Amino acid sequence: MELFSEYVPEGWTRRGLEDAGYTGFRRFSALRESRPPTDPGIYVLLRESSAAPVFLEQSLATKRESFTIDAALLEREWVPDAQVVYIGLAVAGKNHDGIHRRLKQYRRTGQGTADNHSGGVWVFQLADAMDLTVCWRSEPGLSDEFVEGLEHHLIADFTARHGKLPFANRVP
């Protein structure tokens, strides 16, 4: 769709995302010290290592419920040769704290101190989960409907190119 074309990278790599206007590019573990934007938008997690993934027996994302998935399933769903492991959305929210709020929820879920971000939790069974890179593309005034449509479009584009969903874009 032309409506979303400027947000779609030519390649689902760090370079492709940079060229498409995504910014941030911080280690997931450094999110607490940084302040992502409060605007609505899209965020993407990348695993820039070319080493084979190592899956933990127990997910780091565990507070009241365990998000642990069988390692054999995780191995089957892994997307070889793809840097992008998750595409997420952040609407403005009632406090207009968009991406900042959503990434805080995601980070806290992965640290086991919250469980209010059930999407993308498969990344927290990666041994190098906290070394993942997170980037975003946000703009003030994006409607919730636009952001939701954009996320669906980006996931569909990734899937068309790689033959399967981004690794963590599923609800366990």
Q: What is the pLDDT of residue 172?
A: 43
pLDDT tens-digit map of 99-141: 998 888 888 877 765 666 667 788 889 999 999 999 999 989 8
**pLDDT of residue 62 exceeding 90:** no
pLDDT of residue 66: 76
Return the half-sphere exposure (C-beta side, CA atoms, 13 A cut-off) of residue 105: 17
| pLDDT given for residue 108 in this prediction | 81
In the predicted structure, residue 29 carries a pLDDT above the cut 60: yes
Is residue 72 pLDDT above 70, yes or no?
yes
